[in-house]
Amino acid sequence: MIRGAVAVIQREGRFLVIRRSRHVSAPLKYCFAGGRIERGESEAQAVEREIHEELSLQVIAEKKIWHSQTPWGVDLAWWEVSQPTREPEPNPREVASCHWMTPQQMLDLKEDLLLSARHFLEAVARGEIQLSSQA
């Protein structure tokens, strides 16, 4: 089973969303930042490493808020992380662009939004996931 970790970063009612580069799986799809958990790595360590690799940000994984499994068999751990102290700088090998988006803006992306992100937003809307209020 492939295991992944996803970072949920929110500010003023918006989530930090990436558009994946052309060079990775699911090219040019929008999603939350994150990636594969490497052997010997905890979920929290994976989230922190992936955010650094993808967006050149130092964050701390604060709280696991959800768990899901994708239809294609990836086991995902969703983590809220600390607020970045500066704006992200996308690594072009992995990230085409990054954006601060409301949940509705994300849902309006339709098929361009990765299915796992849509499922997360739907679970938040149903009250299944409690998010910390972050400024």
Where residue 7 sits, what CATH number does that domain have? 3.90.79.10
Domain presence at residue 130: no
Could you tell me where the beta strands, DSSP code E, fall in 1-135?
2-8, 10-11, 14-20, 30-31, 34-36, 61-69, 74-81, 95-101
Rounded to the nearest integer, the mean pLDDT of the chain is 96
**Proportion of the chain above pLDDT 70, given as a percent:** 98
Please give the model's pTM, rounded to 2 decimal places: 0.94
Tokens of 129: 């996931």
pLDDT higher than 70, residue 65: yes
- The model's pLDDT over 11-57, given as tens digits with 9 standing for 90+, comes to 999 999 999 999 999 999 999 999 999 999 999 999 999 999 999 99
Domain presence at residue 93: yes
Domain presence at residue 29: yes
Domain presence at residue 57: yes
Stretch among 12-16, 57-61, 95-99, 131-135 having the lowest mean pLDDT: 131-135
pLDDT higher than 80, residue 133: no
Which residues, other chains included, contact 77 with Cβ-Cβ below 8 Å and sequence gap of 6+? Answer: 3, 4, 5, 6, 37, 43, 47, 64, 66, 67
Report d(CA 43, CA 52) in Å as an integer: 14
Number of folded domains in the chain? Answer: 1
In terms of residue numbers, what domain contains 99?
2-125
Mark out the alpha helices in 1-135 (DSSP H runs). Answer: 43-55, 103-107, 115-125
Question: How distant is the alpha carbon of residue 56 from its chain centre?
Answer: 14
Domain presence at residue 131: no
Query: What pLDDT sits at residue 86?
Result: 95
Residues in the chain: 135
∠ Cα 37 73 1 (to 5°): 50
How many other CB atoms sit within 10 Å of the CB of residue 5? Answer: 27
Across residues 63-75, what is the average pLDDT? 94
Split at pLDDT 50, 70, 90, the class of 72 is: confident
Report d(CA 101, CA 95) in Å as an integer: 16
Smallest CA-to-CA distance from 98 within 7, 37, 25 is with 7
Domain presence at residue 79: yes
